[in-house]
Structure 1
Amino acid sequence: MGTREDMYGLFTSVNEINLNGERNRGDAKDGKLKNNIATSYDLQAQMSKKGILWNWGFHDDQIAKEMNARIPDFLNYDTDGFSEELYFFALKQVPFDLDDFAEKSVLEVGCGLGEGLNFLSRVTKAAGMVGLDLSEQAVKRANASLSRDGLSYVQGDAENLPFEDGEFDVVLNIESAHNYPNLEKFLAEVARVLKPGGYFSHVDLFTTQRHAHMQELKEKDLGLEWIHERDISAEVRAAVHRRLAPDGSFHKALQGQRMGMVQRHMAKRVGPEAVGGSFAGYYDSRSTKLLKKMGLLPAQFMPPVDSYRHIVAKKR
């Protein structure tokens, strides 16, 4: 499968998962969707620059201030900080003090290239941190460049976690579950690997259909007590707008890359979609519309995202 076919497979699969729910799909269909997603992220893992976090970001002045106090001058070098803010926010919503993680174990499901969990390992000194991702290439790269004592990465399926019952105090899931065909299986696995009294901090983008399905699952006995939900769409859009501003990190990154005129034009027009542009109100340019019409780009990159939410649950 070529690069364009890989990306088409990703977009088609994500739309299928988030617009059609989990109804009328069998294991074979789910397996195909996962394969498309894994293939695409394997490709992205090979192409991504070091330090990249695969999320749309989050911005709140107070959170940014607290984060920079935790790691002085962090926001002055190498990053716009918005993706890290999302991780920092998600961890802070767990009702453990950041200084009390010395005996806690943390699992991130859907860790991508591992940079987010690596950042959190600097924020708090947990007893152990493990990242899991479906993409074999992403996990290999994370282990090669980031793993060390107390921080490791494993390849695996979010719907069939390769861990023992009650192994973790905290499970994080950051902008990843919209890629999971069977959300119920994932939530049941989270409950299984959490210790009694452990916490699940879940952040994701939601279509209307996917959020309705999430609400249905909250009513089921999956072993989790749902204690908090917050719509953080405004904070996510704030990050996207800052990232895509003329003087933002997106355009600065383009300026620093060597590429042909056509490639640069494509990146400037299409790239914003990858960082949440449509969710923040950015619309297709004429050239992007033409490329879609010609079949060179998928007609719909992402499903129509209705909201971006943070949800916390506790293991009973």
Structure 2
Amino acid sequence: MGTREDMYGLFASVNKINLTDDQAGQSAEEGTHKKNISTSYDLQARMSRKGILWNWGYHDEQNAKEISTLIPGFLDYDTDGYSEELYFAALREVPFELGDYADKFVLEVGCGLGEGLNFLSRVVDAERMVGLDLSDEAVKRANASLGRTGLSYVQGDAENLPFEDGEVDVLVNIESAHNYPSLEKFLEEVSRVLKPGGYFTHVDLYTTQRHAFLKELQDKELGLEWLLDRDISAQVQAAIHGRLSPEGSFHKALREQRVGAIQRHMAKRVGPEAVGGSFAGYTDSGSTKLLKRMGVLPSQFMPPVDSYRLYVAKKI
């Protein structure tokens, strides 16, 4: 984002979407919100180093062991593995064997820089894999660095997917839907583009209000049969603690960055919020509290997350 006011606007609109009881009333401001989201992720796409995955992560020893068996040595370079574990946990709940994707179309909505879908392409050999994101810069970078035959990325809106009816076998959505003004429009699009018998695997952070609204939508006739509702908060918090430990990837990255002492000091105190610190019980430092009172930082980066959940649904 270009200005502090733009960033504050983004935080405010994300909080409003996830804390309001009037979920249907979001459409009036959705244009501004989507512009803020797109602009923000455009900037992150230009600034992020290669290999960055935009999620809070997941950790379970058995889950990690299975990945290491499928991809020997994958933890040896450039990753702590937590973000990949989240993708793997989501895909493993789809009732297809990993070897049964040869004729499948896998779509990820909200793919960011594309690293998560690229990881999944190493786990399953699908006929076609496409990542979609609202950020044009993220999509351009993903295609330039990761795109190849069978794996590509497109710019698009989660609430108006640029795909035909009944085209997709598996739709993946990882820690993205909390940014969507209309969760209902998104689920309608999921149902529209899935083939009958196709699967939707979805993980996201949920406030009390947003979760209650999802429950209402699950009772509507959207053409989806909900098969799994799992609270994975403990596994997500384990990943956050791993990243924020003194030897974890968060502090390792700070040590390796060529930035000044002031910037490093600020990032060390403010950065944990970006990787889910408050959800895992981390509290603001004294300097962060002071910066919030002074208005240098927004009073609330993220809405108060009640749970982190994994859902699987089947197109009827």
Instruction: For residue 6 of structure 1, report the CA deviation from its aligned partner.
Output: 3.2
Instruction: For residue 21 of structure 1, report the CA deviation from its aligned partner.
Output: 4.5
Q: How does 1:246-257 map to 2 (within 5 A)?
A: 246-257=246-257
In percent, how many aligned pairs have the same letter? 75
Matched residue, 1:10: 10
Structure 1 residue runs without a partner (length 5+): none
Matched residue, 1:221: 221
The letter for the 2-side match of 1:139 is: V
The letter for the 2-side match of 1:187 is: L
Distance 1:13 1:106 in 2: 30
Distance 1:26 1:250 in 2: 34
Structure 2 residue 161 is the aligned partner of structure 1 residue 161 = yes
Task: Name the TM-score, length of structure 1 as normaliser.
Answer: 0.98
Structure 1 moving runs of 4+ over 4 Å: none
Matched residue, 1:78: 78
Distance 2:244 2:255 in 1: 13
Distance 1:250 1:34 in 2: 28
Instruction: For residue 5 of structure 1, report the CA deviation from its aligned partner.
Output: 2.8
The letter for the 1-side match of 2:66 is: E
Structure 2 residue 31 is the aligned partner of structure 1 residue 37 = no
Matched residue, 2:189: 189
Secondary structure at the residue paired with 1:204?
Answer: strand
Secondary structure at the residue paired with 1:159?
Answer: coil
Matched residue, 2:149: 149
Distance 2:205 2:300 in 1: 16
Instruction: For residue 310 of structure 1, report the CA deviation from its aligned partner.
Output: 0.1
Distance 1:218 1:17 in 2: 18
Distance 2:197 2:204 in 1: 23
Matched residue, 2:59: 59
Distance 2:133 2:21 in 1: 22
Instruction: For residue 26 of structure 1, report the CA deviation from its aligned partner.
Output: 5.4
- Alpha carbons of structure 1 residues 50 and 108: separation in structure 2 relative to 1, 3 Å: same
The letter for the 2-side match of 1:137 is: E
Q: How many correspondences in the alignment?
A: 316
Matched residue, 1:135: 135
Secondary structure at the residue paired with 1:74?
Answer: coil
Note if contact 1:9-1:37 (Cα within 8 Å) is conserved in structure 2: no
Distance 1:305 1:141 in 2: 30
Distance 2:215 2:163 in 1: 27
Distance 2:148 2:22 in 1: 38
- Alpha carbons of structure 1 residues 259 and 26: separation in structure 2 relative to 1, 3 Å: closer
Matched residue, 1:87: 87
Secondary structure at the residue paired with 2:278?
Answer: coil
Note if contact 2:27-2:181 (Cα within 8 Å) is conserved in structure 1: no
Distance 1:210 1:97 in 2: 32
The letter for the 2-side match of 1:232 is: I
The letter for the 2-side match of 1:197 is: G
Secondary structure at the residue paired with 1:165?
Answer: coil
Q: Deviations along 1:224-246, whole A, 9 cap, x unmatched?
A: 00111000000000000010000
The letter for the 2-side match of 1:140 is: K
Instruction: For residue 22 of structure 1, report the CA deviation from its aligned partner.
Output: 4.6
Structure 2 residue runs without a partner (length 5+): none
Matched residue, 2:301: 301
Task: Name the TM-score, length of structure 2 as normaliser.
Answer: 0.98
Secondary structure at the residue paired with 2:280?
Answer: coil
Matched residue, 2:279: 279
Note if contact 2:117-2:131 (Cα within 8 Å) is conserved in structure 1: yes
Distance 1:126 1:89 in 2: 17
Note if contact 2:42-2:136 (Cα within 8 Å) is conserved in structure 1: yes
Matched residue, 2:206: 206
- Alpha carbons of structure 1 residues 26 and 267: separation in structure 2 relative to 1, 3 Å: closer
Note if contact 2:58-2:238 (Cα within 8 Å) is conserved in structure 1: yes
Instruction: For residue 249 of structure 1, report the CA deviation from its aligned partner.
Output: 0.6
Matched residue, 1:311: 311
- Alpha carbons of structure 1 residues 210 and 26: separation in structure 2 relative to 1, 3 Å: closer
Note if contact 2:132-2:139 (Cα within 8 Å) is conserved in structure 1: yes
- Alpha carbons of structure 1 residues 305 and 75: separation in structure 2 relative to 1, 3 Å: same
